[in-house]
Amino acid sequence: MSQLIDSDESTPLLRDDASCDDCQDADYKSRWRSIRIMYFTMFLSSVGFTIVITSIWPYLQKIDGGADASFLGWVVAAYSLGQMVASPLFGLWSNHRPRREPLACSLLINVGANVYYALVALPPAGNRYHMLAARALVGFGAGNVAVVRSYVAGATSLKERTNAMANMSACQALGFILGPALQAALSFIGETGVAVGGGGLRLNMYTSPALLAALLGVANILLVMLVLREHFVDDEGRHLCAINYESEDQVELQETGGDIDPIAVLTSNLLFFVIMFIFAVFETIATPLSMDMFAWARTEAVLYNGIILCAIGFESIAVFLVVKVVAQRVGDRPVLLGGLSIIFCGFFVLLPWGDQYPLLQWEDIKNNSVVNQTFSSPLSVAPIAPGASNGTVGPRGCPLAQSWCRYTPSIHLGQFVGADVLIGAGYAACNVMSYTLYSKILGPKPQVRGKNKVRRLKGPTVTM
């Protein structure tokens, strides 16, 4: 139950210090408690995504040897496609029902999808398509991010919003830290792992992260159902509404001031598309590129990329702290432009150069009899990985089927790490600024609520 305060002109403005619970009323405490639950939800969503991202390609190769890098692109795209479909659906649901309902439903889907992902090696055929479906369902469950961010945008004043969005992005970055770190730690279980039960399920470096993500999702569901409460405030921090969706006796409706600029909304969406497209390209190519360029085996690629992404997560935390200060001095848009410029520099650094070429897989050299073929580069063969003969590690080097391996200079490890640092810093700045600008453009208005109206608290109390 929550007791709602009168939102007339005498209501004092809310303070920005959410930690000062002793000097605030019950609504203020409840509002920031719910916002912190949204922080935690964003954190767990980020962990659930990144905890498997570095192992998708090796896992796909292991369960279905016929899958190529092109199919990896479809697997990664399936996540985004599922999220794209789910986001407006969960957003519409949250406009007409308590937001804990779409949140709990999406988290339940996410839990089931992660369990499904851990089981994709069991079917006798079509394993790659099972992985595709599992990632699509994980993405569908991740559609709750729209509800999470809209909740925070509607539950904070204009003065609080930049800090709140930065804090949420910091929680997201913390998830990026712990996700790859957990995957790297779990890589020591190995590809074989241990058998669980009699159904053929194995707890290994590929399945254990997904099952851990499912367990975290269960904890998230409990927090959302037991702790979250509905809150809306205006740009000054005064309560607009706290709605009892089950009651017929609703409070008075009042028009909200100001119109939303459609050009600004469209521009923000396009910018967000560009930023996420850049990050999707980066996360998709990181593991297979490192395996091809540096002749890393599957276990090494998962471990090393996990460590790199973990370090980028720590970097993102620092960027968020700096962004909060810089944005207050120079504004949100210059910070966004600066982040895009840094990302551009990161991809420029990644351009190959020099006279060294990727090492080719020995098995391809042996089976394709390429001794008499002419190459534009010296023929170099990667060493055979221990265990490659029995499939427990997999071959090292660039596959001969990828013709670019024979004429494209290899990327130096310093280039790869440097590009990761620049792209990670730029993405962190762009991420928080794009969400902050978008939330300020939309204001506290729900996506759909009558004729652009919200419920402003007027009467005595409404129970939740």
CATH number of the domain to which 134 belongs? 1.20.1250.20
385 in a structural domain: no
Distance, in Å, from the CA atom of 357 to the CA atom of 407, rounded to the nearest integer, reads: 7
To the nearest 10 degrees (0 to 180), the angle between helices 413-442 and 158-186 is: 150
Which comes out higher in pLDDT, residue 286 or 23?
286
Highest mean pLDDT: which of 91-105, 369-383, 445-459? 91-105
Least confident of 189-193, 229-233, 261-265: 229-233
Element (H, E) at 453: strand 453-455
Q: 376: burial class by Cβ within 10 Å (0-12, 13-18, 19+)?
A: exposed
Q: How many domains does the chain have?
A: 1
222 in a structural domain: yes
Q: How far from 24 is each of 11, 12, 13, 226, 332, CA to CA, in Å?
A: 12, 10, 11, 22, 29
Structural domain boundaries enclosing 333: 21-352+411-455
Average pLDDT of the residues in 176-198: 80
pLDDT of residue 134: 94
pLDDT tens digits, 352-389: 888 888 887 765 555 554 443 444 444 455 554 444 44
Residue 154 has pLDDT above 70, yes or no: yes
429 in a structural domain: yes
Least confident of 29-43, 96-110, 233-247: 233-247
403 Cβ neighbours under 8 A, 6+ residues apart: none
pLDDT of residue 252: 41
pLDDT of residue 282: 76
Distance, in Å, from the CA atom of 21 to the CA atom of 146, rounded to the nearest integer, reads: 28
Average pLDDT of the residues in 399-411: 82
pLDDT of residue 2: 38
pLDDT of residue 61: 85
Residue 140 has pLDDT above 80, yes or no: yes
**Predicted TM-score of the model (pTM):** 0.68
Contact 127, 71 (CB under 8 A): no
Contact 438, 336 (CB under 8 A): no
Average pLDDT of the residues in 102-130: 92
pLDDT of residue 284: 72
Distance, in Å, from the CA atom of 213 to the CA atom of 50, rounded to the nearest integer, reads: 10
Place of tokens 């129970």: 463
436 in a structural domain: yes
pLDDT of residue 22: 43
384 in a structural domain: no
pLDDT of residue 387: 44
Average pLDDT of the residues in 412-430: 89
**Mean pLDDT score of the chain, rounded to an integer?**
75
Contact 396, 296 (CB under 8 A): yes
Instruction: Band the pLDDT of 459: cuts 50, 70, 90.
Output: very low
pLDDT of residue 69: 76
372 in a structural domain: no
Least confident of 247-256, 299-308, 387-396, 415-424: 247-256
52 in a structural domain: yes
